[in-house]
């Protein structure tokens, strides 16, 4: 079975700071994908970043980057120069041959 665990229910940082959200996962598959989604209060889920398991290089999208540790089954999201608009729920997700499963989420608040 595929599982995703996010151990930080809530986080809060000041605007312009850097914040890291943690995610661990478990899967028996060798070929899979990892994602971070953002869900603002408007509730539409938006893809932030994706990582293919076969790629060793960590994915980067502007201020968002990941630290993918395959052996440790860890996939953390780093947000640099955080902005007020980054306030949202963040979900880690794992996709593969079985299904696309989500973690319980981390509520991130960026304070002015």
Contacting positions for another protein (CB under 8 A):
4, 6, 33, 35, 37, 42-47, 50, 91, 95-105
Considering the complex, state which of residue 4 and residue 19 has its C-beta at the smaller distance from another protein.
4
Q: How far is the CB of 81 from another protein (least distance, A)?
A: 25
Residue 33 pairs with which residues in a beta bridge?
52, 95
Q: How far is the CB of 16 from another protein (least distance, A)?
A: 28
Distance between CA atoms of residues 74 and 66, nearest Å: 10
Considering the complex, state which of residue 6 and residue 82 has its C-beta at the smaller distance from another protein.
6
Considering the complex, state which of residue 18 and residue 54 has its C-beta at the smaller distance from another protein.
54
DSSP readout, 61-88? ETTEEEEEETTTTEEEEEE-S--GGG-E
- Contact predicate 77/58, CB 8 Å: no
- Contact predicate 38/21, CB 8 Å: no
Q: Which two tokens stand for residue 30?
A: 């060798």
Q: How far is the CB of 24 from another protein (least distance, A)?
A: 14
Considering the complex, state which of residue 18 and residue 66 has its C-beta at the smaller distance from another protein.
66
Q: How far is the CB of 49 from another protein (least distance, A)?
A: 10
């Amino acid at each position: 079975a595929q599982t995703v665990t996010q151990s930080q229910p809530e986080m809060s940082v000041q605007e312009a700071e850097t914040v890291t959200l943690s995610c661990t996962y478990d899967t028996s598959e060798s070929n899979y994908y990892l994602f971070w989604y953002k869900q603002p209060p408007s509730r539409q889920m938006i893809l932030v970043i994706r990582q293919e398991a076969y790629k060793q290089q960590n994915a980067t999208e502007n201020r968002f980057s990941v630290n993918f540790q395959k052996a440790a089954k860890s996939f953390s999201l780093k947000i640099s120069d955080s902005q007020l608009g980054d306030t949202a729920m963040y979900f880690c997700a794992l996709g593969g041959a079985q299904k696309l499963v989500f973690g319980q989420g981390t509520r991130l608040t960026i304070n002015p």
